[in-house]
Amino acid sequence: MKEWIFMSMLSRRQKGRITFGLALATIWYAENDFIFNSQNWNVQSIAFTSLDVDQTMRLNINCLLVRHESMVTWKFPPGGLVKFNVDGLVRNSRTLAGYGGVLRNDEG
């Protein structure tokens, strides 16, 4: 058993390492659910949850790999007007966010 775990962790295939890690994480979660919430998980539930999370992560990773680059430029507003430029970022499944803004007139 020990050799199998070691070999799975050192797999050259990234897909195999990710699936193995997710299976271990699901087993750990199921064990904690039993200890702290008295919830029993059967083998099928653990396997289904591991594969479901694995598939969901792969779909999300593929979406994140698409990059769109564009040149962004800023122009001064017409005289007597102001521009308010804002930007924001959400990371880590919407648990971390930030935003900011710059207010400029026709002189910069």
0.85 exceeded by pTM? no
What DSSP line would sit under 22-47, residue for residue?
A: HHHHHHHHHHHHHHHH-----HHHHH
Confidence of residue 94 (pLDDT cuts 50, 70, 90): low
Could you read off the pLDDT of 44-81 as tens digits, one per residue? 998 888 888 888 877 766 665 566 677 778 888 888 88
